[in-house]
Every structure is written in C-alpha cells, then in structure tokens.
Amino acid sequence: MRRLFTALADLCAVVVFAFIGRMNHDEGLTVQGVFSTAWPFVLGGAIGWSLAYLYAHMRADHGSPYPFRPERVVPDGVLIWVGAVAVGMVLRHQFHQGVAFSFIIVATIVLGLFLLGWRAARVTALRRRAVTA
C-alpha cells in the first residue's frame, strides 16, 4: 500500500508540474495538453523507480541489506527525480517538444521540490509523531 501511495504521489507531482507549466505559458489546460507535457516526465519517473529498485537489489546482492523504499528521500527519491528529469528531457528532445536550457534548470528545480519535497515533509511528520508518542 505504501508503494502505491508513493507512486500516486509522484504521478500527482509530475502532473501538477505540467499543469503549472502550461498555465504559466498560456498553453491551454486541456487533458490532452497536460498529458502531452507530463508524459515524458512520468515515463522518466517510472524509469527512476526502476533504477532505485535495481540499486536496492544490487546492494542486497553484495551483502548490504538495503530494502527498496521509494518513499525515502535518499537514495530512492533522488534516483526517481534524476530519472524523471533526465529521461524526460531526452524524450522531449526526441519528440521536438523543446528543451531550452532555462527550461532544464526550472524543471530540475521544480521537479526536485515536488518529488523530494513531499518525501521530506513525510519524514519530518514521522519524526515529529515519534517524538510526541
């Protein structure tokens, strides 16, 4: 259940990123428009999930216990974020959607805030709950 929530939170973060970007550039807020902006980053995030999963299992194979927990900020969240940005930009370039340098910077920062931010907020809330319990 935790992984499903994490996957949905990541999906929502990327869709909100696409929605805000389209809204700020007056590109129209149709479902098709938001999808066309979001899909490269959604696919990139899925590849980031795969990388985090593989990393966890490679570590486990070398005797270091490391369970796959995509809700963690480091390293799982960072791998998901890097996957979303890197693969998303490559796909945008391949499909002629535009990858201006300024967009790469903004997308990297905003997706970092969105994909890592909710994870950091979760960790903070769990720590506060543990202190008060």
| Domain edges within the chain | 2-132
pTM of this structure = 0.93
For 41-77, the pLDDT digits (tens) are: 999 999 999 999 999 888 777 777 778 899 999 999 9
Confidence of residue 133 (pLDDT cuts 50, 70, 90): confident
Exposed, middle or buried, 101 (CB in 10 Å: 0-12/13-18/19+)? exposed
Residue-level pLDDT at 109:
98
| Residue at token pair 């929605």 | 19
Band (pLDDT 50/70/90 cuts) for residue 1 is: confident
CB 45 within 8 A of CB 7: no
Handedness of CA 16, 111, 40, 10 (dihedral sign): negative
| Residue appearing with tokens 């997706």 | 111
